[in-house]
Structure 1
Amino acid sequence: MDLKTTLANDKIELPDDFFQKVQRYKEHLFKWNKVHNLTGAKNEQMLNAFIYDAVFPISFLPKVNSLMDIGTGAGFPGLILAFALPDTQVTLVEPLTKRASFLQFIKADIGLKNVKVVKKRVEDMQSEIFELITSRAVTDTQMLLRLSENFRDEHSKLLFYKGEKVFDEIDTNLNMQHKIIETKNRHYLLLGEEL
């Protein structure tokens, strides 16, 4: 997958330095991954697919000033969204030391002023309200709703990166408006009171 062409074809507007940051990130990730096994994306093609997957929601998300990503791992989707949204304050929550250290290293190396790395489980964090909460491959929707309770209000939106099983996770006791955005490889579940 040629990331630049694919994103351009999908008319996803990105900052001028997005691909420069992505390139630097990829170089570091491949080096760190050999030692620390941070992600399952072991080659350029797979990594490009992960990056595309992370940034695609730019095409439908409202503008937000603050974003929290639960369980960022090696950077998906939170770090990639931080590259794409330089005016949004992005909090990356990652409890595992090696992954949190990698995120902190990337933040320093690229000079990301809009990123804060929190090396904790989300349950152990102080309550704070975010306009958007994201998560990919962490747990099921009901658990994510519980984990995010102290970090959202009636205006917050939630974006969960899901697979085809998302339809099984949407049940009648989901007391929030929601919509599912389907792409070829990914389903995005967007929740909020004001969709």
Structure 2
Amino acid sequence: MISSEYEARELVLNLCGSDSIARFELVADRLRQENTRQNLVSAASLDSVWQRHIADSVQLLRHVPRETAMDLWLDLGTGAGFPGLAIAIARPDWNVCLVESRKRRVEWLGAMIAELDLRQCRIEGKRLELVDPVPASVISARAFAPLPKLLDLSRRFSTDDTLWLLPKGRSAGHEVSELPRQLRRMFHVEPSLTDPESGIVIGRAKEAKPV
């Protein structure tokens, strides 16, 4: 379990390599600046940005099997860029799509993508319902919607092979338990490395039927 900014940086270094550290430092600096203009993240979390946001995002890489064909990582409700922007920094050769409808956040994400030269990362600056369906290798979302609604909204992007990685905080186990049986058996909860009381919902929702 990660309990300090130092340990969070070490996790990022181990999962993403030394080349990513300077980029994440830039993101942390820009995040602090932008947070004075718009509420991207809670102000209190900026004192532990590596643990609360960066490491919390890149820990998802631990759950992606090596044999996964990464055609597209789709991040829903990206907000300040977590986890989607962090994944794009960690794996700049992967195609990453950030879905975010709020204009000011889209503008900030676009500026960060340009400054970091993340050529494989793009933004869909609209509501998820308006995004053209495309099959995703991985679908991630943090604080986007309750699990049943999330699955219902996102089933257009899911195939039998799509891996769902959903940081759900302290509600993870409860949200899985509330799913209909045929969906419940497709998901499980793994503990988060950055919060002992939080979990990550992981699974492959076979065609993600409406719930």
Structure 1 position 102 matched with structure 2 position 102: no
CA contact (8 A) 2:13 2:21 kept: no
Contact 1:71 1:138 in 2 (8 A): yes
Match of 2:191 in 1: 182
**Deviation of the 1:153 alpha carbon:** 0.9
Q: Identify, as 1 or 2, the structure richer in helix.
A: 2
Aligned length: 193
Q: Counterpart of 1:20?
A: 22
CA distance in structure 2 between the aligned counterparts of 1:142 and 1:128, rounded to whole angstroms = 20
Task: Choose the corresponding residue for 1:168, options 158, 174, 188.
Answer: 174
Q: Which residue pairs with 1:2 in the alignment? A: 5
Identity of aligned residues (%): 24
- Contact 1:73–1:94 at 8 Å: present in 2 too? yes
Residue segments in structure 2 that go unaligned for 5+ positions in a row: 207-211
User: Scaled by the length of structure 2, what TM-score is found?
Assistant: 0.83
Distance, in Å, in 1 between the alignment partners of 2:12 and 2:85 is 21
Shift of 1:169: 1.4
Which of 20, 34, 37 is matched with 1:35 structurally?
37
| Change in CA separation of 1:135 and 1:9 when aligned onto 2, cut-off 3 Å | closer
The superposition leaves residues 50-83 of structure 1 with CA deviations (integer Å, 9 ceiling, x where unpaired) of 1111111212212423100000001111001111
After superposition, the Cα gap between the structure-2 partners of 1:42 and 1:98, relative to the gap in structure 1 and judged at 3 Å, is farther
Separation in structure 2 between the aligned mates of residue 36 and residue 9 of structure 1, nearest angstrom: 29
- Contact kept, 8 Å, 1:74 with 1:99, in 2: the verdict is yes
SS at match of 2:188: strand
Q: Could you tell me which residue of structure 2 aligns to residue 84 of structure 1?
A: 90
For residues 95-120 of structure 1, give each alpha carbon's deviation from its aligned partner in whole angstroms, at most 9, with x where no partner exists.
Answer: 00011110000000110012101100
* RMSD over equivalenced CA pairs, Å: 2.1
Cα distance, 1:186 vs. partner? 2.6
Instruction: Tell me if structure 2 keeps the 8 A contact 1:90–1:115.
Output: yes
1:14-49 CA deviation, whole Å, 9 max, x = no partner?
133211111111111111111122221455433112
Read off the aligned partner of 1:53 and give its amino acid letter: D
Question: Is 49-58 or 6-15 further displaced after alignment?
Answer: 6-15
The list of structure 1 runs, each at least 4 consecutive aligned residues, that deviate by more than 6 angstroms after superposition, is none
Amino acid at match of 1:192: R
- Structure number with higher relative contact order (C-alpha < 8 Å, ≥ 6 residues apart): 2
Q: Work out the CA distance in 2 between the residues paired with 1:78 and 1:121.
A: 16
Q: Distance in 2 between the 1:54 and 1:41 partners?
A: 18
Unaligned runs of 5+ in 1: none
Is the partner of 2:101 in helix, strand or coil? coil
Within the candidate set 138, 141, 146, 1:140 is matched to 146
